[in-house]
């Protein structure tokens, strides 16, 4: 079994899910008391959030590239960046290491294609919804992504940063997300990408009239599959 290098802490609430799911998947695959081989670097999200807000993406990329390089030196066989937003600097991380960096958009687009869908809604942080890095990579894989209107984007972002990254999950916010997802469906979305790892704490398939693509689950499933090949 290969060793998974998790680059997390952005936020730790979602990184916990990466760690839990990886171990559950390995146990389900091998049985008994088997668990995953993992190296984890969990950074202080307050530092990264400040860089995000200031638009200092190059500095953020340099920081994450250094951490990925350290994971490689410690024996990781792959890098899994436990966040959607920071894949905006995935190229910097890829240049810093020789081991594979398993891109969350590649894993997600493959799952969407397997489902036979061509047009999906994308929920995430404002950075993920406003910047083109996510939609462009989906488009290269033959998947069109649409985002909510501006006011809905603001609601999605606010709930992530004011609630979910702090571990707060409320029925009121779940209802707001359900309404936003339904508006995306009305705009032609055949499925919805939960393009922020924390959103999976809030939204379940019962909240949507179309298939959901939970990126945390998809990403770590891809990593565990890679660990056995």
Q: What residues are annotated to the active site?
A: 83, 196
In angstroms, rounded to a whole number, what is the distance separating the alpha carbons of residues 57 and 80?
Answer: 19
> What is the C-alpha to C-alpha distance for residues 20 and 220, in angstroms, rounded to an integer?
10
* Cα–Cα–Cα angle for 65, 88, 162, rounded to 5 degrees: 105
**Dist CA 37 CA 14 (whole Å):** 19
Phi/psi class of residue 165: alpha, beta or left (left: φ > 0; alpha: ψ in -120 to 50)? alpha
Distance CA 122, CA 56 (A): 24
Q: State both tokens at 147.
A: 């985002």
Under 8 Å CB-to-CB from 222, ≥6 apart: which residues?
Answer: 102, 107, 110
What is the CB-side half-sphere exposure of residue 116 using CA atoms within 13 A?
A: 0
Sheet strand arrangement including 78-81: 38-42, 4-8, 78-81
The closest alpha carbon to 102, from 28, 5, 20, 193, belongs to: 5
Tokens of 36: 């995953």
Distance of alpha carbon 78 from the chain centroid: 16
């Amino acid at each position: 079994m290969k060793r998974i290098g998790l680059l997390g802490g952005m936020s730790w609430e979602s990184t916990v899910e990466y760690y839990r799911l990886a171990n559950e998947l390995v146990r389900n695959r091998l049985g008994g008391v088997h668990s995953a081989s993992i190296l984890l670097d969990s950074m202080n999200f307050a530092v990264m959030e400040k860089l995000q807000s200031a638009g200092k993406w190059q500095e953020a990329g340099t920081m994450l590239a250094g951490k990925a390089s350290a994971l490689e030196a410690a024996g990781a066989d792959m890098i899994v960046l436990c966040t959607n937003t920071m894949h905006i600097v995935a190229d910097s991380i890829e240049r810093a290491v020789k081991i594979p960096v398993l891109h969350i958009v590649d894993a997600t687009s493959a799952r969407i294609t397997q489902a036979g869908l061509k047009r999906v809604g994308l929920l995430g942080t404002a950075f993920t919804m406003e910047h083109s890095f996510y939609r462009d990579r989906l488009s290269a894989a033959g998947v069109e992504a649409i985002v909510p209107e501006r006011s809905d984007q603001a609601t999605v972002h606010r709930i992530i940063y004011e609630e979910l990254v702090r571990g707060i999950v409320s029925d009121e916010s779940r209802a707001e997300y359900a309404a936003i997802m339904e508006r995306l469906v009305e705009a032609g979305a055949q499925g919805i990408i939960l393009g922020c790892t924390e959103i999976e704490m809030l939204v379940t398939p019962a909240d949507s009239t179309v298939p959901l693509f939970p990126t945390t689950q998809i990403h770590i499933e891809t990593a565990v599959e890679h660990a056995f090949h």
